[in-house]
Structures are given as structure tokens and as C-alpha cells.
Amino acid sequence: MHIPDAFIPLPQAAIYWIIALIFVILALRWARNELSEEKIPLIAVLAAGIFAIQAFNLPVGMGTSGHLVGGALAAIVLGSPFAAVFILTIVLIIQGVVFGDGGITTMGANIINMGVIGGFVGYYSYHGIKSAIKNDFIPAAIAAWLACFISAIACAIEMFIAGTFPLVPGIIAMGTYHAAIGIIEGVITAGAIYLIYTTRPDLMELGKGPAGSEA
């Protein structure tokens, strides 16, 4: 879902950058106030893992491949959508600047789609679904699928505003491909949460509901 430079005209790209920067500043504030010292290794390892797995494209049929984005995973594990913004911003900077994956001018839009939308949709749908299904892993998988799917629809709308994709075919194709790619997102998110949960349950924020209330 990494938007290349060519896909968004500069004035629009600048607007996405400004919106993204607001969330990046809020994410840095989250890290300063909420990220405890003992979680720094977790967030660093998680980010390294997310970077690695993003390079691992899996075929989903229809001549298309996809990979985990990891926004929902980061937000659920660290107990805040801003954790996703924090991790994805750094991952996207390295991907764009060092590896040419995702543009420089379009990095703001990519941070919004994968970090902000992915993180917020993943986090809040996880806690919403969890209140109906008393389990840690199924809600995580569904939330991760939703995070992938809704980010993709947002991306399709941005591509329409940019004049790059027509609206309806863009939404249909982005929706179809990411409905399939979202299955990868769901399975790996639930699997990774299970792994962290069994090795370091103390690092997880699974029980913590929105705004720090105990779920």
C-alpha cells in the first residue's frame, strides 16, 4: 500500500504531510509520557520485526501479493494507536529514504494510511470486538483485517482526489485485493500477539481498554 511519489501531486502531498506531522507529534508525546523504559526493547524489536515482515510479500491470487503492515499489531500490543504511528513513521522513513519503497513527498499520506488509520482502526475495533468476544486473539485478527481494509479504501479515495485512479474501479480493486491481503494481516497479527503473550505477558497491554480504562 506504499504510495510512490508519482501518485500524488505536490500540493496534495503537502496537506497529507501536515496532517501526518500532527499525529507524529502526538505520537512522540505519547512515547515521552506513556512509553515506559522497560517497553523500549519491545517497541524496538516489534518495529524491526514489522520492517522485516513488510519485505515478505505473500501471494494472494489475482496476480497480487501483500504483506503485514503492522499498525493494528503495534497498537494492540502497546495499548495505544499512537504506538502504531510512532513505529510506522520510523519504518516508513527508512523504507522511503533508504529503499525507495513509498515516496518521499507521499510519506505523509503513507503515515496517515498505515500508521494513523491502521493504528486507530486496529486499536478501537479490537477493544470494541473484544467486549463481544471474550478472547484476545480472534478480536485481534478481525481488527487487523479491518485496519488493512479501511486503510486501503482511504488510499483509494486519496488516489481519486489525486486524479490517479477513477473512484469506483479504484475502490473495487483496492477493496478486493486488500480484503485478501487483510487475511495475512489478521493471521500474523493474532500469531505475533500469541507469541509475545506466551513469552512476555507483562509487556502486553491487552486488558487495557481505550483511554486507559480496565476492560
Closer residue to another protein (CB): 9 or 212: 9
Smallest separation (angstroms) from another protein to the CB of 142 = 19
Q: Which of 15, 25, 94, 133 binds another protein (CB under 8 A)?
A: 94
Residues 143-162 that bind another protein (CB under 8 A): 152, 155-156, 159, 162
Smallest separation (angstroms) from another protein to the CB of 184 = 11
Query: Is 202 a binder of another protein (CB under 8 A)?
Result: yes
Residues 15-74 that bind another protein (CB under 8 A): 28, 31-33, 35, 37-38, 40-49, 51-53, 55-59, 61-67
Strand segments, DSSP code E, in 158-208 are: none
Query: Is 7 a binder of another protein (CB under 8 A)?
Result: yes
Q: How far, in Å, CA of 35 to CA of 29, rounded?
A: 9
Smallest separation (angstroms) from another protein to the CB of 82 = 12
Question: Residues 99, 107: contact at Cβ < 8 Å?
Answer: no
Closer residue to another protein (CB): 46 or 116: 46
Query: Is 207 a binder of another protein (CB under 8 A)?
Result: no
Query: Is 166 a binder of another protein (CB under 8 A)?
Result: yes
Question: Residues 203, 40: contact at Cβ < 8 Å?
Answer: no
Smallest separation (angstroms) from another protein to the CB of 83 = 11
Residues 6+ apart with CB under 8 A from 47: 74, 87, 90, 91
Query: Is 11 a binder of another protein (CB under 8 A)?
Result: no
Q: Which helix (H) or strand (E) holds 65?
A: strand 64-66
Closest-CA residue to 211 (of 34, 44, 70): 34
Closest-CA residue to 39 (of 202, 210, 190): 202
Letters for 105-124 (x = contact with another protein by CB under 8 A, - = none) are: xx------------------
